[in-house]
Structure 1
Amino acid sequence: MTVRPFVIDVPQPVLDDLHDRLARTRFLDDSPRRPASGMTSAYLRDLVASWLTFDWRAREAWLNEHPQVLADVDGTTLHVVHQRSASPDAPALLVMHGWPHTFALQLDFADLLPDFHVVVVSLPGFGFSPPLDEPTTEQRLAQLVHTLMTDVLGYSRYLTYGEDVTANVSDLVAATYPEAVTGIVVTHAHFLPQDEREATTDPTERAFYDRMAAGWYDQAAYAHAQGTRPDTLAAALNDSPAGLLAWITEKLVEWSDTPAGDPAAVERRISRERILTEATLYWATQSIATSFRTYFDGGDAVVPPVEVPAAVFIQRHEHDNPESVARRFYRDLRVFERLAEGGHFTIAEVPDAMAERVREFAAVGSGHPRS
């Protein structure tokens, strides 16, 4: 297993083609009686205008200030940002993104932890990590990132954190490799399996799962399309940068901790520069299709209870997630806190607050089982 340095260098013809396509965007007006969503015609027009003048080279230079490698791991290659601490004895922290974000959205958080060895991995099929030649299941992802941390990068012990599709992966890592995981940091607390959700008689649990189910129908079209017709959808998004931008940004808007009805409010949490960075990475790497494979292949892994020390921070979109479920699943729960700010992309939205909490947990809350 080898590791080799990597530097981002998007070819100029790719950027020229992007600019040409953006300049020829055919915009649509909002439909009458359209359902509320995280995207409007006016906001998309504004974003496209900004993308036309976006200084990618400056942003690329910023990204390249973060040491990156391509790591050969068990038959595949993973793109990794590996920021080592000046202290050899610093704790190691694995950070995993979900969909529709990339590694780039998590770098502001990583930069706040110079006292950690921070590993931010790009999932297979996202950005500069090529897709797997096999199903992209949660079990396979957990095995790959654990091998990356231990056999490839040489960390015998590490903390783990995941968001969105990697929340389950992080739980799997902690449950499967407890001898290597000193603790798990959670902002997407584990959900009960569907049969247990339906069977629970606890009123707090019942109310949370009923609320989540009721809100899911209006937002689930993206997941159904990505999980059932991924290539058909991707054919359009891979050809139209404006379409790609709308598809990605809608979810950044809807899932962030920002007021509904004003798409531009997302920029209070995730700046326009960061939004356009995400879109450019997907466009330049043509990875929107392969990013869908976690929906098409992933499924819901059966995750056994986590026995390692855990810190659970409930983000605002799951503000009523029951503590009772967290305590049943995370058997050594050291911290349970409901965050005052921060939504689905928690460490990107409130990096300072989360960096402080991770530091505190690593210092006093993880690594030693309760007596």
Structure 2
Amino acid sequence: MSAAARPFRIDVPDDVLADLRERLARRRIPADSPRRPPSGMSAGYLDDLARSWLAFDWRERERWLNAHPQFIAEIGDASIHFAHLRSARPDAPALLVMHGWPHTYALQLDFADLLPDFHVVVASLPGFAFSSPYRDGPVTDPRLAETMHRLMTEVLGYERYLTYGEDVSAYVNDLIAATYPEHVAGILVAHAHFPSAAERAELVEPDQVAFFARLDAEREPNGAYGHVQATRPDTLAAALGDSPTGLLAWLVEKLVEWSDTPPGDPAAVEARISRDRLLTEAMLYWVTDSIGTSFRPYFEGADQPEPMPPVDVPASVHIQRHEADYPESLARSYYRDLRVFERLEEGGHFTVAEVPAAMAERARAFARGLGMLPG
């Protein structure tokens, strides 16, 4: 590892935890509106979560997180935090794992733990958790792709690696593979490539047109969060950064709605993502005061004005349940060396967090097929 990376341990000050407990104890939760739209959150569930957070043994969870070797590296004008789980096999394949919003690196550690035959790097995107935001200039997908690639090559010294991303980092995942094919051995995908707006306007295949029409129809009632984060980020951050209960509601609503769980049953998400894991996500946003900087990809880099270059490296595509009708023809036109295309039977938006064992086996099978692991 480069000397540019320094070891990092989480150590939240006691006074930060005391302040959090005081705020949670004084929580004020409004009653559910009588005719409110369906949501992944309700007053009863939120109050139950807040009670659990008040009693949460953070020090125990902190010890679990710190059992994963973590580091900070200076890359350009950002300090990038990452967990680096080295395999006992020196020749093990390297795998970059990137999160999206509203989760953090922590939600993907269970997946990483299941891959002892890989060197796994679980990175925090700039402005999330313990990674600083970029100090100058906007957050864009090409910039994120360059930062993550430099982490893998310049900082960690991996000449060849596999890459995986979700949500905000899905385009980043594609861009890394398309831009640095001489270094990327393959791309693992659960959030398959979406064409640009201009490209979508030219689509004529019925299944392709129908897929994006469905997404557009669902965006109207369900996309308000993204509109607010893209248009009034600081106003929203002022509210969420001052109220742990509000932050909890904002984060867990999406973790519930976007997981592969029955609609209208918020507690069902905990069969996929345990309550301790949900509270860990809220805690990391709270103690790092990073909810505002996590919005930056929405208002600085959300537009995709130009088509992205195709991916020519080997690809293994596994369609998560919230995009179950994603057309295979789109994947085949973008991922030019598509080795696997399948529709997952389980697992939603937070795929490797919800079905870590299934996705670990798929990563392993992909690496075996590339000759990076013994058959």
> CA contact under 8 A between 1:93 and 1:118: conserved in structure 2?
yes
CA-to-partner distance for each residue in 1:258-314, whole Å, 9 max, x for gaps? 000011111111110000000000000000000000111112344210000000000
Q: Partner letter of residue 277 of structure 2?
A: R
The count of aligned residue pairs is 367
1:122 equivalent in alignment to 2:124: yes
Match of 1:199 among 199, 202, 222: 202
Distance 1:235 1:293 in 2: 14
Say if 2:350 is the partner of 1:348. no
- How far does residue 196 in structure 1 lie from its aligned partner after superposition? 2.7
Do structure 1's residue 80 and structure 2's residue 82 form an aligned pair?
yes
Aligned partner of residue 247 in structure 1, secondary structure: helix
**In structure 2, how many angstroms separate the alpha carbons of the residues matched to 1:218 and 1:361?**
37
Sequence identity of aligned pairs in percent?
67
| Residue pairs, 1:34-53, within 5 angstroms | 34-53=36-55
| Amino acid across the alignment from 1:178 | P
List per-residue Cα deviations over 1:310-342 (Å, max 9, x = no partner): 000000000000000000000000000100000
SS of aligned partner of 1:289: helix
Q: In the TM superposition, what is the alpha-carbon distance from 1:194 to its structure 2 partner? A: 1.7
Query: What letter is aligned with 2:328?
Result: E
The secondary structure found in structure 2 opposite 1:308 is: strand
CA distance in 1, matches of 2:122, 2:144: 14
Pick aligned residue for 1:71 from 73, 78, 81: 73
Q: Distance in 1 between matches of 2:23 and 2:303?
A: 38
1:154 equivalenced with 2:148 (yes/no): no
Structure 1 CA distance for aligned equivalents of residues 198 and 144 of structure 2 = 25
Which of 70, 93, 96 is 2:95 aligned to? 93
TM-score between both structures, scaled by the size of structure 2: 0.96
Indicate conservation of the 8 Å contact 1:309/1:366, yes or no. Answer: no
Aligned to 1:285: 288
Secondary structure at the aligned position of 2:174 is classed as helix
| Partner of residue 136 from structure 1, selected from 139, 152, 164 | 139
Aligned residue type for 1:107: L
Specify the SS of the correspondent of 1:101. coil
Cα distance in structure 2, aligned partners of 1:74 and 1:131: 11
Which amino acid letter does the alignment assign opposite residue 294 of structure 2? S
Shift of 1:200: 1.7
Q: TM-score, normalised by structure 1?
A: 0.97
Corresponding position: 1:363 with 2:368: yes
Deviation for aligned residue 1:6: 0.4
Q: How far apart are the structure 2 equivalents of 1:244 and 1:316?
A: 26
Does the 8 A contact of 1:113 with 1:355 survive in 2?
A: yes
> Is 1:214 aligned with 2:214?
no
Q: Which runs of 4+ in 1 moved over 3 A?
A: none
Cα deviation for residue 229 of structure 1 reads: 0.7
Amino acid at match of 1:245: L
Specify the SS of the correspondent of 1:303.
coil
Match for 1:323: what amino acid? E
Post-superposition offset of 1:195: 2.6
Quote the Cα distance in structure 1 between the aligned partners of 2:258 and 2:201. 25
Maintained 8 Å contact 1:334/1:365: no
SS in 2 for 1:363: helix
Deviations 1:135-179 (A, max 9, x none): 111111000010010011000000000000000001000000000
Query: What is the rounded CA distance, in whole Å, between the counterparts of 1:291 and 1:103 in structure 2?
Result: 13
1:298 and 2:298 are equivalent in the alignment: no
Secondary structure of the 1:185 match is: strand
- Aligned position for 2:114: 112
TM superposition shift of 1:238: 0.2
Q: Which amino acid aligns with 1:244?
A: L
SS at match of 2:303: coil
**Offset of residue 366 of structure 1:** 6.9
Contact 1:200 1:206 (8 Å CA) reproduced:
yes
1:319–1:365 Cα change, 3 Å: farther
User: Please, which runs of 5 or more residues in structure 1 have no aligned partner?
Assistant: none
CA apart distance, 1:74: 2.2
Question: What letter matches 1:213 in structure 2?
Answer: D
String of CA shifts for 1:336-357, please: whole Å, max 9, x gaps.
0100000000000000000000
The 1:46/1:329 distance shift into structure 2, 3 A limit, reads same
